[in-house]
Structure formats: structure tokens, C-alpha cells
Amino acid sequence: AAGAAAPPGALSPFDRRLKRKQKNWAALQPEAAKCDYLREEVRRARAGGGRGPAAPLTPSPFPLALDVGSGRGYIAQHLTKETVGKLIQVDIAENALKNTLETEIPTVSVVADEEFLPFREDTFDLVVSSLSLHWVNDLPKAFREIHQVLKPDGVFIGAMFGGDTLYELRCSLQLAELEREGGFSPHVSPFTAVSDLGHLLSRAGFNTLTVDTDEIQVNYPGLFELMEDLQGKCMGESNCSWNRKPLLHRETILAAAAIYQEMYGNSDGSVPATFQIYYMIGWKFHESQAKPAQRGSATVSFGDLAKINGLLSRKEK
């Protein structure tokens, strides 16, 4: 089912065949590694260096892990054999899997769609996904698939782009099209709202959820350099929405670049691009996991919290 295309509609906003072509083309570009800066920043946050929730620390390694939407293996190169025994890398783009980065752990590459994981139930101890699920048509189904292939007490650790991603670019293009063409079309893909993410994970069966959001701001010389990174050089992040406009008129692009600079430009002449990142951790239920106390079993009232400062002051005296 890799790259399966569904007909356009409210439940199928993306052309998955086109996205597969975009990612395959990007994976073959000679300077592909130059555009890894977003993935590197997300990885740093996953390791506890940023605002996103850090990966859970466990005394024992994960014997078998799955990387959903692995690309060229951005996560694998930062894993060690002390934490992961074997990693299965899944992506819709075969060229990305043919050009995976070196890693010290054993890996197996599988061409498959994130919505149709070809694995048995209760297979993996760990599932990870970084900056891939925002192109999935059926995100609830993708979460259910991930939950299904996890073993009980297995953990899912993910990161995906959020709703405020590239708002500067989106606004500039819309204003330019309104000015030059009398209307506008979507040039940046739709994103999931963070308010929906916890509900979707819970409905898929995950518990002990942690969801956080952060923003990464990258400065570019101008709009053209930003679009070159997103579309042309290496990211493979070109819009693949069914309702996308096939091309932008030169006058509209020039107007958008001027609007971008005027509305958001930095004092040094560069322009910022904001990438909102949603971080998530969820566990598959197991009897050994801690359970919340029963309702009404509390022995301390919230009203007693006001007395804590007084008690501590008397103790210090």
C-alpha cells in the first residue's frame, strides 16, 4: 500500500503519490544533508535539550524499534546499540531508504505507507516518528496502526509540524495573491491543531500521554531561499494538497517577497520562518503500569495547600 492514492476530499487532503515523488526526488539531491537542520533541532529537543518532552529513560534497551516515516534515517544515526537492539525503518520513498545514513545498530528498510503498517500486532517495543505524520491523510488511523503494532507497555515517541508552521509565508502569499490576482489559493498544507492531538492519541488507545509544543525560528536571506529549501533542494516539503495551485505567477511571488520583508523582516535584511513542533509520548496499556487513584480516595484537600507555607516557616524557625 506504499504511496496509495485516495481520491481528493475532506478526508483525503493530500496526494500521497505526489508526496512520494517529492520525497524520492529530494532524497537524491547531493546537498540533502544541508537541510537536516530542523530534524537536528527536533532530535536535540527529544533528547531533553529543548522544550519538548524528553524520551523516557529505561534501565533496559528496546529490543525491536520502528521508525515511521524514517526518511534517510535521521533518528537511527543518533541511536545506540545499548538502547535499541534492532530498528525497522519505514518510509513511502524508496530512494530515501536506499540512501540511509550510517548507524551502529542493525537496521531493516521497508517501503510502506504510514497509514498501512505491514506488521503484526504487538511487535515493537518502541515506535518513533519525526516530522512525517503531517502528510498523512488519516491521522487517527495512523495512530491506531502505531498503537496496534506496539507491544503492551511499549511507547510511542513522535514529533510533527503544527498549525502555526510557516504562518509568515502563508500570510505573505495570500496577501500577494489578493493584491495581484483578486483571490488566493492554499500554498501551505493544512496542519493539525494541538488541541486535537491529545484526543486523537487517547482515542487510538494510548495512555499516560505527554503532549507539548515548541517553536523553531529559522532566518533566511529571503522568501526565495526559504521556498528553495522547502521545495527544491532537499526537504521534500513541497505542498501536495489536492487543492493546491499548480504554479505561482512571477508578479505574485515578487509581491509576496516584498510583503514578507515588510511585515516580518529582520533588521539585518533576513526574514524569519516559524516551524511549530508538536511533541508527543504515549504508552500502550499494560497491567504493570501505574494507575490513577480511585475517585474520592484522596486524604489531603486542595484547601490544605494554603497552609503549607505557614507550616514550612514554623519548621525553619
Q: Return the higher-pLDDT residue of 82 and 189.
A: 82
Is residue 226 within 8 Å of 273, Cβ to Cβ?
A: yes
Residue 22 has which C-alpha cell? 517529492
Q: Is 151 helix (H, G, I), strand (E, B) or coil?
A: strand
Q: Residue 236, by phi and psi: left (phi above 0), alpha (psi -120 to 50) or beta?
A: left
Structural domains present in the chain: 16-164+190-219+274-285 (3.40.50.150)
Q: pLDDT, tens digit, for every residue of 107-162?
A: 999 999 988 999 999 999 999 999 889 888 889 999 999 999 999 999 999 999 98
Q: What is the pLDDT of residue 2?
A: 43
Q: What is the pLDDT of residue 203?
A: 93
Q: What is the pLDDT of residue 287?
A: 76
Q: pLDDT, tens digit, for every residue of 262-295?
A: 999 999 999 999 999 999 999 998 777 766 566 6
This prediction has a pTM of 0.80
Instruction: Give the burial string for 293-302 (b: 16+ CB within 10 Å, else e).
Output: eeeeeeeeee
pLDDT-wise least confident of 2-6, 34-38, 103-107, 180-184: 2-6
- Among 67, 35, 225, residue whose Cα is nearest residue 132: 67
Q: What is the pLDDT of residue 85?
A: 93
Rg (CA), the chain: 22
CA trace torsion 12, 13, 19, 21 (10° rounding) = 70
Q: Strand 271-283 to strand 150-161: parallel, antiparallel, or no bridges (unpaired)?
A: antiparallel
Q: pLDDT, tens digit, for every residue of 191-231?
A: 778 888 989 999 999 998 999 999 999 999 999 999 888 86
Report CA 276 to chain centroid distance, whole Å.
Answer: 9
